[in-house]
Structures are given as C-alpha cells and as structure tokens.
C-alpha cells in the first residue's frame, strides 16, 4: 500500500510503500515505531492514520469505508473508528492511506489532489484562529465543508473537526458527500468513537483534510462477483444475495421499516436503554409500557411515517444499492446517536432528538459519548447530587426543555469555563471523581451513576447502546462491535470470551479491509476466498495481539469495573437473561461474584490472544 506521511510541523510529505494490509496494521506499525504509547496523548507522535482497504479496487459495494487508527484520549489505548463512503474519494488520489504527523504552528487544512502522474499534489493551507472560529460559529464542520468548495478546483470529500475537539476528548471527524457544491442530505457520516477529532486538532493542529480527484469509472469486477456467488452456494445471483443480506439496513418488507433506528426498536422492546440505563431497576411491566410509548406517534411511528413511507433514503457516498441512510427532517437517523440523545436522556420525541443530534454533530461531538454524558448529568441533577444551577439547567423536564438544555450543555462544554465543565472535560471516569470532590455528595458517588469499561488508571470507553453483557467485558477495544454484542442473553465467562474474541478478530479484519459492516452478511463468508484470489493477507488475530501489546505499553489494559451502574447492568442482567447460578453468586457477594466473572473471562481471553 502507498502511504502519504504528512508532517504538518515540518511542512513535509513523503510517500512510502508499506507491506501493511490496511490502515489498522499501518497505524500500529507507525505507532509502535514512534513509541507513542510512552508519550502524552496529545503529543504529535500520536499519528492519526486513515485509509481504505485493499479490496476497494474490486468495485464491490461496501468496500470503500475509511478507517481511522490512533491513540484514544478516552481509553488511553490504540483505537479504531470508521466512516462510510469516504474511501471512494481517497482512491482517486493515488494513495491508500494518510498519516498525519507533527504539529502545525497555526490551524491547518490539508489538500490531497490526485494527478494523472499518479503521485498526488499535497498542499497545506494555514488559517487564522479567528477565521476558524468565524467558520465554526456559522455552521461548524458543515460550514468548513462548504467553504472548501470555493477554494478547491477538484471533486473532493473532506474529513473535518469541530469546536468540541478544542477542549474535550469527545471530538469526532465529520464528513459529507457533496452534490452541486452542496451537502447531499443523509450522506453525512462521522468517525465518532474514541476522540479521533480531538487527536487531529490537539495533537496536530489540523482542522481537516480534503482529498479527491477525477472520478474513476465504476465497475464491479466480474471475477469478484463470481467468487461471492460461488461461496454462497445458493444458486442465486450476486444481486439476490446482496439484497437478501442487507435487507435490515435498506427496507424490510416483513417489518415494514428499515435502517438501524427502524429495525432495532421493534426488536429491543423491554431491553431498550432508558434514563441513563436506569431502566434496569424498573420492572418488566414498567419497561413494557415505556417501550410501547416509544413505538408510538412521537418516536418510532413518526420516523416510519415521515422517513420510511416516503422513502427518504440516501447512501454514504459510495456506489451502493443499499440506501441505508434514513433522513428525518434533513437529519440522518441512526439508532445509537438518537438513542443516546433520546430515550436514554428522557427524550421520547424524535423532533427534539433530531434537533439535539444535529446540533451536537455540528459542534463536532460524538453524539453517543455526549448523549451518555448528558443522561448522566440529568440523573445526577434529578436526584439532587449536582445542583441545577451548576450546569445551567432551568428545571424544564419537557422533551423540548431537555433538548434545549442538551444543546446548551454541548455549547458550554466546548466553549465556556467553570469548575464543573472542567471536570466533565476529563471524561466520565476521572471527571466523576472530580465532581464528587466538588459537590461532596456523601454516601452517593456521582461517578457510580454512569457506566463504562475502564482501562488503566484513567481511561474508559462507553459501550454501544445495547444491554448486552459482551459490551461491558474487559476486551482490548470496546465501544464498537468488536465483541459478542447479542443483547438479553447470558453467557458463561469462558464461552463469552471465546465468542467475543472471535467477533473481535472478524470485525478487525472488516475494518482493516475497509468493509462496511452493514455488508458483512454477504461479504464475511466470501472474505477468505476474495483474499486468496487477490493476494490479500487476513491478519485479524495478529491485529488483536498487536493492539493488546500496544495497550500494555500505554498502561491502558482493561481493569475491573469501578462504577455501581456498570456492576448493576451485569448483575441484574444475570437475573433477567437466565444466568441463575451467577445471579445467586452475585446475591451472596456482589464483589466476589463479579471478581470471579471478570477474572475467568480475562484468563480465557489471554489464552486465546
């Protein structure tokens, strides 16, 4: 693979030919070489590496995802985040991956333009802090995207940060596909989890990267298509296989809905996270009433009638028949960000949640990390652990009032100063202890109200928005789907370790190959055959080994659960999901039972890694 090593501090670009398979092992190679694990999180040695996978040239839909690799300011360890479609533009540049290194003196935009010679033209544009603030104040990353249209003379896609990256570890990298100089509704996507945007801005002083060039002729290679058909052994052609395995994300005739939002709520039912995951303390009948309310006219029904019925669908920007992006009132709707900023934050009105998610995206926050921070603060104020005035909450618990407060908190957290905001900027784990010190709540710890997977002495990662035990276990990388993520099922720790490890290996390979996981149903069974046919190395097990080794050097290995809410999610899950023997152990001694489960899982995992 060809890698552009862009040192913005030295204003220097080098093109290297690497033997890496994809952006994850290339990122690991660079980070091990610079020993970034031994330095501060925002040291310029924390290279932000992004790239596409080696199957992108086959033309198969779902193979143009852009994968980002970096050291996370949240977990403290090596982390992976991805975004849809952007690899379709990177392939026009002549490079497969980009490594952002060094630190610019002034905020900088990087342009990578493909040329007929094959070697791209790289330019660095410095902008003044005042100009950057002006752009952000007039639309955040979206405004910067539109401003670039006036400056660049080639078809491009950009990856950009917003003001949330300035002071918080929750910064995303935002991107959108353009059509006639305007953002195409629904095409917006983010590399959200892990704080990639915060690393790009604070470690490198880079505001964004634009890349592209002359559009290539699109064609699926017949050989690749035939390989897929042969592997599936169904007698069906490629289009039939493709349609059947991606139905959930496009449109399900059986469910009469589509996308992650439309499909998940009918399936999650009483296990839908509500009220900062506090619903685990509610009875099943109470939860059923709340779920039925969610399925009603202000949430799921409204989404279905205003988005699914009129087919307001879009793609991420690559040529793909699965229009998985569902658009409500101009806002792209996915389950996790809307769940985090919606029902989990006491908001059961999709109009209000859409306003909040859109605002949070504009500021450049990970809507899941911010939403779960919002829900945590709402619970802390609801039960008197933090005074409302400390966060500027007016006490209006209506859906519109909560959305309004969420937007105010997002803006203040990014731009304003106070002791409480400074604590929150440290994240849930360290920030929770600081809030306990500030407000002295006595017997109840504010940190105990939140949930996460802890790493090392200070790091953590917020899990995905499902009540799945596999989302909370000590894996080298959590917060995404590198685990056994089936909800409402209890697993013995040895069994869960084997399942989680197997899934982590598979997901690592998908991400390293730049494959969209919405396509995993038809692509995963064919990956081995495609790799053999095109000389691609599958190295998922080695990726997990190398990430584990890196995290050990960074002091970011998984540690035992340290909040009561996290422990409750697991112990109550044992009762709910059929783990009677473990429920008895937890009842006899919660700490001893959890310690046994944690250690058994960890020991089994280590034997596999």
- Give phi and psi for 207, each to the nearest 5: -85, -30
Residues linked to residue 108 through DSSP beta bridges, in sequence order? 126, 206
Helices (H), 348-492: 350-363, 367-382, 399-415, 419-424, 427-439
Q: Supply the pLDDT for residue 361.
A: 94
Domain made up of 238-432: CATH architecture: Orthogonal Bundle (1.10)
Closest CA to 472 of 572, 554, 374, 387: 572
Three-state DSSP class for residue 193:
coil
Burial environment of residue 143 by CB neighbours within 10 A (0 to 12, 13 to 18, 19 or more): middle
- Give phi and psi for 395, each to the nearest 5: 85, 5
Q: Supply the pLDDT for residue 212.
A: 94
Burial environment of residue 292 by CB neighbours within 10 A (0 to 12, 13 to 18, 19 or more): exposed
End-to-end Cα, the chain, rounded Å? 27
Q: Note the CATH number of domain 2-219.
A: 3.60.9.10
Residues linked to residue 493 through DSSP beta bridges, in sequence order? none
Q: Supply the pLDDT for residue 247.
A: 93
Distance between CA atoms of 347 and 341, rounded to whole angstroms? 7
What strands lie across the sheet with 313-314, from one edge to the other?
Answer: 313-314, 325-328, 331-333
Distance between CA atoms of 369 and 398, rounded to whole angstroms? 22
Residue 596: how many other CB atoms lie within 10 Å: 15
194-213 per-position pLDDT tens digit: 999 999 999 999 999 999 99
Closest CA to 5 of 99, 91, 103: 99
Closest CA to 14 of 6, 2, 26, 25: 6
Percent of the chain with pLDDT over 90: 88
Three-state DSSP class for residue 256:
coil
Q: Supply the pLDDT for residue 117.
A: 87
Three-state DSSP class for residue 466:
coil
Write down the number of H helices and E strands in the chain.
24, 19
Closest CA to 175 of 271, 280, 55, 87: 87
Three-state DSSP class for residue 128:
coil
Distance between CA atoms of 378 and 203, rounded to whole angstroms? 32
Q: What is the mean pLDDT of each run of 10 residues along the chain (609 residues)?
A: 98 97 98 97 99 94 97 99 95 97 97 92 94 87 82 91 97 90 86 97 97 86 93 90 92 95 98 99 98 98 98 92 93 97 99 98 97 99 96 98 99 96 98 95 89 99 99 98 98 99 98 96 95 96 98 99 99 98 98 99 98
What's the predicted TM-score (pTM) here? Answer: 0.97
Closest CA to 338 of 263, 244, 247, 429: 263
Residue 228, H or E segment? helix 222-232
Distance between CA atoms of 367 and 374, rounded to whole angstroms? 10
DSSP 57: G
Residues linked to residue 460 through DSSP beta bridges, in sequence order? 454
254-263 per-position pLDDT tens digit: 999 999 999 9
- Domain extents in the chain: 2-219, 238-432
Burial environment of residue 85 by CB neighbours within 10 A (0 to 12, 13 to 18, 19 or more): buried
Write 358-361 long-range contacts (CB < 8 A, 24+).
Answer: 358/330, 358/331, 359/406, 359/407, 359/410, 360/406, 360/407, 360/410, 361/140, 361/172, 361/174, 361/188, 361/190, 361/337
Distance between CA atoms of 558 and 548, rounded to whole angstroms? 10
Q: Supply the pLDDT for residue 22.
A: 98
What are the DSSP calls for 257-303, one per residue?
B-HHHHHHHHHHGGGS--TTTGGGGS-HHHHHHHHHHHTSTTTHHHH
Distance between CA atoms of 422 and 420, rounded to whole angstroms? 5
Distance between CA atoms of 148 and 151, rounded to whole angstroms? 5
Q: Supply the pLDDT for residue 505.
A: 98
Helices (H), 395-465: 399-415, 419-424, 427-439
* Residue at token pair 């935002």: 174
């Amino acid at each position: 693979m060809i890698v552009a090593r862009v040192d913005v501090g030295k204003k220097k670009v080098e093109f290297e030919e690497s033997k890496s398979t994809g952006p994850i092992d290339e990122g690991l190679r660079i980070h091990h070489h610079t020993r970034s694990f031994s330095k501060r999180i925002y040291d310029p040695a924390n290279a932000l590496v992004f790239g596409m996978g080696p199957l992108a040239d086959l033309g198969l839909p779902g193979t143009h995802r852009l994968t980002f690799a970096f050291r996370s300011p949240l977990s403290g360890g090596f982390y992976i985040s991805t975004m849809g479609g952007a690899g379709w533009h990177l392939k026009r540049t002549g490079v497969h991956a980009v490594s952002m290194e060094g630190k610019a003196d002034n905020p900088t935009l990087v342009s990578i333009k493909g040329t007929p010679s094959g070697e791209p033209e790289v330019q660095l544009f410095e902008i003044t802090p005042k100009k950057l603030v002006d752009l952000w104040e007039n639309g955040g990353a979206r405004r910067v995207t539109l401003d670039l249209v006036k400056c660049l003379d080639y078809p491009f896609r950009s990856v950009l940060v917003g003001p949330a990256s300035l002071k918080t570890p929750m910064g995303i990298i935002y991107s959108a596909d353009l059509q006639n100089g305007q953002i195409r509704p629904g095409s917006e996507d983010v590399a959200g989890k892990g704080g990639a945007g915060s690393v790009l801005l604070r470690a490198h002083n880079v505001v964004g990267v634009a890349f592209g060039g002359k559009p290539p002729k699109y064609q699926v290679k017949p050989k690749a298509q035939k390989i897929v058909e042969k592997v599936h052994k169904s007698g069906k052609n490629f289009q039939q296989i493709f349609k059947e395995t991606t139905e959930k994300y496009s449109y399900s005739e059986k469910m009469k809905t589509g996308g992650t939002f439309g499909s998940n709520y009918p399936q999650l039912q009483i296990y839908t996270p509500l009220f900062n995951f506090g619903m685990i303390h509610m009875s099943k009948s109470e939860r059923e009433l709340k779920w039925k309310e969610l399925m009603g006219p202000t949430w799921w029904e409204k989404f279905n009638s205003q988005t699914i019925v009129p087919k307001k669908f879009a793609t991420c920007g690559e040529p793909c028949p699965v229009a998985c992006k569902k658009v409500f009132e101009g806002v792209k709707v996915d389950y996790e960000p809307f769940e985090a900023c919606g029902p989990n934050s006491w908001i059961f009105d999709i109009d209000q949640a859409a306003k909040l998610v859109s605002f949070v995206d504009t500021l450049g926050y990970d809507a899941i990390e911010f939403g779960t921070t919002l829900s945590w603060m709402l619970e802390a104020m609801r039960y008197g652990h933090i005074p409302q005035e400390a966060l500027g909450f007016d006490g209006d618990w209506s859906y519109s009032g909560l959305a309004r407060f969420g937007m105010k908190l997002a803006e203040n957290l990014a731009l304003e100063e106070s002791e409480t905001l400074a604590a929150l900027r440290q994240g849930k784990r360290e920030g929770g202890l600081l809030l306990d010190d500030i407000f002295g709540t006595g017997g109840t710890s504010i940190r105990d109200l939140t949930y996460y997977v802890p790493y090392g002495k200070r790091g953590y990662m917020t899990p995905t928005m499902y009540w799945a035990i596999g989302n909370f276990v000590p894996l080298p990388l959590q917060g995404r789907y590198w685990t056994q993520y089936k909800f409402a099922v209890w697993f013995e720790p040895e069994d869960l370790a084997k399942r989680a490890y197997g899934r982590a290996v598979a997901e690592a390979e998908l991400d390293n190959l730049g494959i969209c996981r919405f396509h995993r149903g038809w692509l995963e069974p064919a990956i081995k055959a495609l790799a053999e046919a095109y000389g691609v190395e599958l190295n998922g097990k080695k990726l997990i080994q190398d990430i584990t080794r890196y995290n050990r050097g960074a002091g970011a290995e998984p540690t035992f659960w340290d909040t009561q809410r996290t422990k409750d999610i697991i112990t109550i899950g044992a009762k709910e999901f059929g783990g009677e023997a473990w429920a008895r152990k937890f009842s006899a001694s919660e700490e001893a039972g959890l310690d046994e489960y944690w250690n058994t899982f960890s020991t089994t995992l280590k034997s596999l890694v």
